[in-house]
């Protein structure tokens, strides 16, 4: 406990000074925790009423009987929380549990010890059951107690006053970019409409740009689905937590209407996405990726952060040893810890020898979500900053099969754009990746002309081919005009190479995409 050690050091120094004046006096040693002298106490976190807003955290009440005892009674969400003495700074010391993830729930906690320190590791309590609680913190004895008082009451519905509403999430066109999210159109007082493409993924709605601490419009419960049948439940809440989101399970064009007066949402399926198109998310441009955390070789030191190897424009890879603990990643070092971090979409997403529990990645300053490594071992970690994904493979672990992927150990291409022309006896073969069995690459000279690909040569030309998802897709200096492909016998669509030159082609049989890079 860092503060306690400072008090002890000061007491020891004072004692030595007194001893120097009178060497006959006994040395006084303070062994117990000294009281934390404060007149205020606050809590912050997605489990608390004010969320992660450090400028307006949720205050406790000071006891009239003992000025160093603080209580709070109210509703907590499922999520995380820690305590601070004053608002406004993430660098100040926080009151924390002795072990990260210590649960607060229906079972009462009686005079459990806590600690207080600044910086990392960032231990927090985890509220496992939403409901009404009484929390008591004794700053004199460094203990805390909890009592569960019952379930949560329904929200008070009051019109949400705002001139703008946006949606954010990997299901939305602008992804998790809180600074430039996808804006909705205001069509009437309290009515906002979005019409456009949505990916399969998650989303929520907000009113405050650039802040994850503000309240969000969310489904009344986690993972309410949006698909061709509409939205599974029309009710929403406006709150900082828990961090519930809508789950889009069918990628398509939708019309979504938010009624901010009655807290209702409606959803209409408009059409399928043309040619398998998916909304574009802006790739994250970076030259470096660094990993920090007590699970990593360099711990929480940014100076000793583990650096990834850049293997392509957006893909970074690291191989090495991890131990049990937490981790996050950044693209630049900042001694003031003010930078954005690569984080899991859900705090505490586990990394183990089975891989990572959820591949989604967000790039945010806060909340301070981190991955949790549960098994020590040798790992390969890959970040794709174009797709905002993380993949994790333990040494010796078998790569799990993707049920939606094309299965093949080989890939070939033919066409007058390729070195072997249209000959099925001499097709141009791709190289299979050692790290990902679904990825095939080829690098070499392409001519102007057409091309398509197959898994195995077939002299009759009657086999299915990998083809562009629609006619007229081109490959040139700017890459491929449409990334999606299909696997079919007809129609006989082909990629059209519009400029001869040296290229690197990459087929991903799991994502059903092709990537083309012009090299000269």
Fold match between domain 35-150 and domain 166-276: yes
| Per-residue model confidence as pLDDT tens for the chain (520 residues) | 444 444 434 444 444 444 444 444 454 444 567 899 999 999 999 889 888 889 889 999 999 999 999 999 999 988 899 999 999 999 899 999 999 999 999 999 999 999 999 988 899 999 988 899 999 999 999 999 999 999 877 677 899 999 999 999 888 998 888 888 999 999 999 999 999 999 888 899 999 998 888 899 999 888 899 998 899 999 999 988 778 899 998 888 999 999 999 999 999 999 887 654 444 557 888 999 999 999 999 999 999 999 999 998 899 999 999 999 999 999 999 888 888 899 988 788 899 988 888 888 888 877 788 999 999 999 999 999 988 899 999 887 655 566 678 889 999 999 999 999 998 888 999 999 988 889 999 999 999 999 999 998 877 777 889 999 888 899 999 899 999 999 888 888 999 999 999 999 999 998 899 999 999 7
**b vs e for 447-474, b when ≥16 Cβ sit within 10 Å of the residue's Cβ?**
bebbbbbbbebeeeeeeebbbbbeeebb
DSSP class of 511: T
- Give this prediction's pTM: 0.41
* Architecture in CATH for domain 166-276: Sandwich (2.60)
Domain ranges of the chain: 1-31, 35-150, 166-276, 290-394, 412-518
Residues 6+ apart with CB under 8 A from 148: 105, 106, 107, 108, 129, 131, 132, 133
Residues 6+ apart with CB under 8 A from 124: 45, 80, 81, 82, 96, 97, 100, 101
Give whole-number Cα distances, 50 to 38, 45, 107, 212, in Å.
21, 8, 24, 11
* Architecture in CATH for domain 290-394: Sandwich (2.60)
**b vs e for 11-34, b when ≥16 Cβ sit within 10 Å of the residue's Cβ?**
eeeebeeeeeeeeeeeeeeeeebe
CATH number of 35-150: 2.60.40.3620
* Architecture in CATH for domain 412-518: Sandwich (2.60)
For the CA atoms of 179, 181, 187, 190, the dihedral, rounded to the nearest 10 degrees, stands at -70
């Amino acid at each position: 406990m860092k503060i306690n050690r400072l008090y002890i050091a000061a007491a020891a120094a004072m004692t030595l000074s007194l001893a120097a004046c009178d060497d006959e006096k006994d040395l006084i040693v303070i062994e117990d925790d000294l009281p934390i002298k404060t007149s205020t106490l606050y809590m912050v976190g997605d489990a608390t009423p004010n969320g992660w807003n450090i400028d307006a955290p949720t205050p406790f009440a000071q006891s009239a009987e003992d000025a160093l005892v603080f209580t709070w009674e109210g509703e907590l969400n499922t999520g995380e929380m820690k305590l601070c003495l004053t608002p406004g700074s993430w660098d100040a010391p926080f009151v924390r549990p002795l072990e990260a993830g210590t649960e607060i729930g229906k079972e009462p906690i009686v005079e459990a010890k806590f600690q207080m320190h600044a910086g990392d590791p960032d231990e927090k309590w985890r509220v496992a059951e939403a409901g009404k609680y009484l929390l008591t913190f004794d700053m004199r004895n460094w203990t805390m107690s909890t009592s569960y008082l019952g379930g949560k009451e329904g929200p008070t519905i009051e019109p949400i006053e705002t001139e703008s509403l946006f949606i954010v999430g990997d299901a939305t066109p602008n992804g998790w970019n809180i600074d430039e999210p996808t804006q909705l159109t205001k069509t009437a007082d309290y009515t906002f409409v979005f019409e456009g493409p949505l990916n399969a993924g998650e989303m929520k709605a907000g009113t405050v740009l650039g802040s994850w601490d503000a309240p969000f419009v969310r489904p009344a419960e986690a993972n309410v689905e949006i698909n061709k049948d509409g939205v599974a439940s029309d009710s929403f809440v406006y709150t900082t937590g828990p961090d519930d989101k809508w789950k889009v399970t069918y990628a398509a064009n939708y019309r979504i209407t938010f009624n901010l007066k009655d807290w209702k949402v409606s959803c209409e399926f408009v059409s399928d996405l043309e040619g398998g198109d998916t909304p574009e998310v802006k790739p994250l441009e970076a030259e470096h990726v660094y990993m920090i955390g007590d699970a990593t070789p360099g711990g929480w030191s940014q100076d000793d952060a583990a650096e990834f190897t850049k293997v392509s424009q957006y893909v970074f890879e690291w191989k090495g040893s991890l131990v049990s603990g937490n981790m996050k990643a950044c693209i630049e070092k900042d001694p003031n810890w003010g930078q954005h971090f690569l984080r899991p979409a859900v705090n505490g997403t586990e990394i183990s020898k089975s891989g990572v529990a959820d591949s989604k990645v967000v790039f945010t300053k806060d909340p301070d979500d981190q991955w949790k490594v549960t098994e020590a071992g040798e790992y390969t970690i890959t970040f794709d900053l174009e797709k905002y994904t993380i993949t994790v493979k333990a040494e010796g672990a078998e790569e799990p099969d993707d049920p939606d992927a094309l299965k093949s150990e080989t890939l070939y291409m033919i066409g007058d754009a390729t070195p072997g022309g249209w000959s099925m006896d001499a097709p141009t073969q791709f190289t299979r990746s050692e790290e990902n069995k679904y990825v095939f690459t080829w690098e070499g000279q392409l001519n102007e002309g057409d091309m398509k690909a197959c898994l195995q040569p077939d002299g009759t030309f009657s086999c299915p081919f990998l083809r562009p998802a629609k006619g007229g897709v081109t490959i040139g200096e700017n890459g491929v005009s449409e990334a999606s492909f299909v696997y079919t016998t007809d129609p006989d669509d082909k990629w059209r190479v519009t400029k001869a030159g040296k290229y690197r082609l990459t087929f991903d049989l799991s994502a059903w995409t092709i990537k083309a890079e012009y090299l000269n």
